[in-house]
Amino acid sequence: MLIDFFYTLRAAKLPVSVKEFLMLLQALKLGVVGPKTPVSDNESAASGYAIDDFYFLARATLVKDEKHYDKFDRAFAAYFKGVEMVSDFTQKIALDWLKKTLELDLTPEQKAAIKKVGWDELMETLKKRLDEQKERHEGGNKWIGTGGTSPFGHGGFNPQGIRIGGAGKNKSAVKVWEQRAYRDYDDTQELGTRNIKVALRRLRKFAREGHVEELDLDNTIRSTAANAGWLDIKMRPERHNNVKVLLLMDVGGTMDDHIARVEELFSAAKTEFKHLEFYYFHNCVYDFVWKNNRRRFAEKFPTWDIVRKYNKDYKLIFIGDATMSPYEILQPGGSVEYSNEEAGAEWLARLTHAYPQFAWINPEPQGVWQYRQSISIVQQIMSQRMFPMTLKGLEDAMRLLSK
């Protein structure tokens, strides 16, 4: 049984060795998890154990780098179908209130008739609902519930509300009441084309430094020819790309639709730029960013520290679809995940002031930009330095940053 599991992990391109696999089998036989009595064969190794215990043991023995956790999770779930991962998130709202049993089907006219509620009124009303509500509601337009037109809950429709539980389908929530798990972009992603690398090379600025290590082929050929064919090898100092890049990447939510393309760009950037620093944010930059999505609340990097750490020689590149509620950019407390003291627009302005050479790469098709209010707002803050994630867009952005 576990032999097939091992090959599933290898098929998922996880660097799992036979030695690590044997270590897992040994841990099972010694009763590290599950039953205390030793297990005698591979066939029974995974049986008799809680699936969560086996998951953590397998991950600890087989995965040596946290950047492979997401690949492992997907391969594990594919092999042990129906696996549910344990979450540390606790809800203060009764879970029964959020159980969806009704599917709402509204006509366009009915949807258009539903009134939008302003930010301040929305927040104040939610506080009242939390104080007043004592039971489950479904299909209504007022209380926290499911399948209705209320601005609080999920599974229904409201042009501007707070999603509590469930999964977003209309992408109209201005705030989300849940702890969501994002995954880091894979910087080992194989590129489907070399053109992205070629586009990024427009930003390279070479400087000669270090010892004589590199063969100067052109000069060697000329010198050998001038020396009547006697080989005359010429060396030159190795060249390094001195461009410094600070990369801030949007992750999660609507960016899930663009993971593959962003990973290609991320892989190319790590190859092309020796001095590359990267951080993640969600939707808009606020008072902190992070480098590891699994520990984004435990290991925060204050944005002010980023500005102080990297000087203005760095080229600042944002990667994000800029698709969000306008409140997330313009309103204090507008973040979908926590209550930010200052508006995202303030932080974007500080960053662009600290790094005069900046650009925003947007993976959303340029044809839809005019229909997204949030994109227009970010474009204004970016002084129209927003470029589509196309080869021409990348070339134009690199050309701008190289000036």
Strand order in the sheet with 275-281: 275-281, 244-250, 315-319, 358-362, 386-388
Model confidence at 71, pLDDT cuts 50, 70, 90, reads: confident
In this prediction, residue 233 carries a pLDDT of: 85
| Alpha carbon distances (Å) from 132 to 125, 127, 128, 146, 358 | 10, 9, 6, 17, 48
Give the pLDDT mean for 282-308: 91
In this prediction, residue 283 carries a pLDDT of: 92
CATH topology of domain 195-202+242-401: Rossmann fold (3.40.50)
Q: Which one is predicted more confidently, 251 or 112?
A: 251
Residue 250 has pLDDT above 90, yes or no: yes
User: CB burial class (10 A; 0-12, 13-18, 19+) of residue 347?
Assistant: buried
Domain ranges for the chain: 2-79, 95-177, 195-202+242-401, 206-240
Q: Which one is predicted more confidently, 370 or 134?
A: 370
Q: Quick one: tokens of 272?
A: 């092309």
Residue 386 has pLDDT above 70, yes or no: yes
In this prediction, residue 190 carries a pLDDT of: 42
Give the whole-angstrom CA distance, residue 356 versus residue 351: 9
Give the whole-angstrom CA distance, residue 264 versus residue 17: 26
Tally of residues, the chain: 403
Please give the distance of CA 200 from its chain centroid, rounded to a whole number. Answer: 21
**β-pair partners for 358:** 316
- Tens of pLDDT, residues 1-26: 578 888 888 888 888 888 888 888 88
Give the whole-angstrom CA distance, residue 389 versus residue 195: 12
Q: Tell me how crowded residue 343 is: count the other CB atoms within 10 A of its CB.
A: 20
In this prediction, residue 280 carries a pLDDT of: 94
Q: Is 399 left (phi over 0), alpha (psi -120 to 50) or beta?
A: alpha
In this prediction, residue 40 carries a pLDDT of: 41
The answer to which of 81-90, 92-101, 118-127, 241-250 has the lowest mean pLDDT is 81-90
State how beta strands 301-302 and 288-289 pair.
antiparallel
Closest by Cα among 73, 74, 27 to 49 = 27
Q: Is 34 left (phi over 0), alpha (psi -120 to 50) or beta?
A: left
**β-pair partners for 249:** 280, 319
Q: Which one is predicted more confidently, 261 or 172?
A: 261
Q: Which one is predicted more confidently, 343 or 38?
A: 343
* 3-class secondary structure per residue, the chain: CHHHHHHHHHHCCCCCCHHHHHHHHHHHHCCCCCCCCCCCCCCCCCCCCCHHHHHHHHHHHHCCCHHHHHHHHHHHHHHCCCCCCCCCCCCCCCHHHHCCCCCCCCCHHHHHHCCCCCHHHHHHHHHHHHHHCCCCEECCCCCCEECCCCCEEECCCCCCCEEECCCCCCCCCCEEECCCCCCCCCCCCCCCCCHHHHHHHHHCCEEEEEEEEEECHHHHHHHHHHCCCCCCCCEEEEEEECCEEEEEEECCHHHHHHHHHHHHHHHHHHHHCCEEEEEEEECECCCEEECCHHHCCCCCEEHHHHHHHCCCCCEEEEECCCCCCCHHHHCCCCCCCCCCCCCHHHHHHHHHHHCCCEEEEECCCHHHHHHCHHHHHHHHHCCCCEEECCHHHHHHHHHHHCC
Q: Quick one: tokens of 174?
A: 């201005």
Residue 258 has pLDDT above 70, yes or no: yes
In this prediction, residue 203 carries a pLDDT of: 67
In this prediction, residue 147 carries a pLDDT of: 62
Give the pLDDT mean for 63-83: 76
- Tens of pLDDT, residues 214-240: 677 888 888 888 888 888 888 776 555
Highest mean pLDDT (candidates 126-135, 228-237, 240-249, 322-331)? 322-331
In this prediction, residue 193 carries a pLDDT of: 43
- Tens of pLDDT, residues 334-383: 888 888 999 999 999 999 999 999 999 999 999 899 889 999 999 999 99
What is the average pLDDT value for the chain, to the nearest integer? 76
Residue 50 has pLDDT above 70, yes or no: no
Residue 330 has pLDDT above 90, yes or no: yes
Give the pLDDT mean for 206-211: 48
Q: Which one is predicted more confidently, 208 or 20?
A: 20
